[in-house]
Structure 1
Amino acid sequence: MKLKLAVVALFTLLMTSCKPTEIKNTNDITGKQWQLKTLNGKEITYKEDEQTVYFILTAKENNINGFSGCNRFFGSYTLEEGNRIRFSKLGSTMMACLDEYFNEREFLDIFDKADNFTLVDGVLSLNVGRRAPLAVFEVMPKK
């Protein structure tokens, strides 16, 4: 029994000492317009004059706002240690959209599911647990 406890304690110690790389400066993800590149593993393509799907995190007020394909959306977010992120109080406009090439509901659902993020070489992924990314974003080029 003591051996089992020792093994569990050692395992716990090892797991808690192995932290993923954390974002120390929230400026790395806030204040940027993040354009959707993939959603649930599917690449997103845009027509030439089409507005892109994106979001912006505002650090001062901890607000999120963006465009979800037809409607604008908004809400709040919190960042926590370990690249944890939570979105709350999400809402959107309710425009009637004729062009249904893009599933807005599927996109907005990622904000309910996501609980962490990764940022590697300017590519932001919103994730749930350790599974494949729910969505992948890149900073929109300035026009």
Structure 2
Amino acid sequence: MKRLYSYVALLFVAIMLFSCKSTTPPAQGSADITGKTWKLTELNGKPITLHNPKSNPYFSLNMTDMRYSGHGGCNGVGGTFEIKPEVMRIKFNQGMSTMIACEDLETERLFTQALLAADNYSVNGNTLSLNKAKMAPLAKFVLQE
């Protein structure tokens, strides 16, 4: 009988160990960037200047269909993406864009180039940086609320 109690106690401990969730906080800077809208603030180390401040470029990532969508300031942009959040790697695939002419086409062109060139990202608070290798950030974004 004593042996049966030992097995039951051991089984109980095993069940408790396997059913507990980890309470370890995520690694610093590994914040989830998906399902949020990111507004462009800087390109190639320089703050962006816009003819129309209401046309600020932005993008968001949808994990359901693995698509990104956004606005370059004048034209809509979108396509598919791949992400490995555990190592903060990202790849934006060439997608589509509308073709409306406007005053901020240079900013839009640089924004789109930054998306397509990025291969990793970093997060510091509410700021997202898209990077290429270990070079200076291609673009910086702030979480749009």
**Aligned match of 1:31 in 25, 30, 35?**
35
Q: How far, CA to CA, are the matches of 2:52 and 2:72 in structure 1?
A: 17
| Structure 1 residue corresponding to 2:78, chosen from 69, 74, 92 | 74
Correspondent of 1:108 among 105, 108, 112: 112
Alignment of 1:14-93 (within 5 A): 23=30, 28-46=32-50, 50-80=54-84, 81-93=86-98
How far apart are the structure 2 equivalents of 1:114 and 1:121?
A: 20
Cα offset for 1:22? 6.4
Q: CA deviation at 1:45?
A: 4.0
Counterpart-to-counterpart distance in 1, 2:132 and 2:55 = 27
Q: CA deviation at 1:112?
A: 1.8
The structural deviation recorded for 1:90 is 1.7
TM-score (norm 1): 0.74
Moved beyond 6 Å, runs of 4+:
none
Structure 2 unmatched ranges of 5 or more: 1-26
Cα-to-partner distance string for 1:37-64 (whole Å, 9 max, x where unaligned): 1001110245676222100101111110
How far does residue 66 in structure 1 lie from its aligned partner after superposition?
Answer: 0.4
Structure 1 counterpart of 2:5: none
Unaligned runs of 5+ in 1: 1-19
In angstroms, what is the RMSD of aligned CA positions?
2.1
For each residue in 1:112-138, what CA deviation from the matched residue of structure 2 results, as whole angstroms up to 9, or x when unmatched? Answer: 210000011111000001111000001
Question: Counterpart in 2 of 1:123?
Answer: 127
Q: Quick one: which of 132, 137, 141 aligns to 2:141?
A: 137
Q: Percent identity?
A: 38
DSSP-derived class of the 2:95 partner: strand
What one-letter code is carried by the residue in structure 1 that aligns with 2:78?
F
Q: Is the 8 A contact 2:58 2:70 kept in 1?
A: yes
Which amino acid in the other structure matches residue 89 of structure 2? Answer: R
